[in-house]
Amino acid sequence: MQEYNDKRVFTGGRRSMLVFNKVVSALAKAGISLMGSRILSVPGRKSGEWRSNPVNLLVVDGERYLVAPRGHVQWVRNLRVSTEGQLRIGRKVETFRAEELSDADKPDILRAYLKKWAWEVGAFFGDDVKPDSPTETLLHVAPGFPVFKVHPA
């Protein structure tokens, strides 16, 4: 059984996660979405060069969200500065504006995200955080998981 550390990264599975991300990216570039996957592109906050990562686009009650299951990673920091990015699936590119949610507004979104993708990202949330976790638990972990509402540009 693999263990995870406080940074929510598998100690023994980092290589397999990188391979998985490459596969998801290749599929999205080819126009095949794996349960909502997209390629997120955001200009770098220092260089201005576009940076890309695979992400899971979540739809809840007709609204779209990006959740960062690995926490305050580079794409999150870049999106906070630029507040705009692009989502790509195949040749279709959508420019969007991002609005970061407050921690108080995250529990329902985190719950929906875990319901859909716990099989992929659940380990980053820890053993105590599940789709059916109480709201208090989700509020407790909310500061560690940035969530952005996606608006058309």
Residue spans per domain, the chain = 14-152
The reply to whether the predicted model has a pTM over 0.85 is: no
If you average pLDDT over residues 89-108, what whole number do you get? 96
**Tokens 């695979």, residue located:** 54
**Tens of pLDDT along 29-71?**
666 556 678 999 999 999 999 999 999 999 999 999 999 999 9
Nearest one of 135, 58, 68, 150 to 104, comparing CA atoms: 135
Nearest one of 33, 118, 53 to 129, comparing CA atoms: 118
Q: Does domain 14-152 have CATH number 3.20.10.10?
A: no
Measured CA to CA, the distance from residue 147 to residue 66 in angstroms comes to 6
- In DSSP notation, 106-137 reads -HHHHHHHHHHHHHHHHHHH-TT--TT--HHH
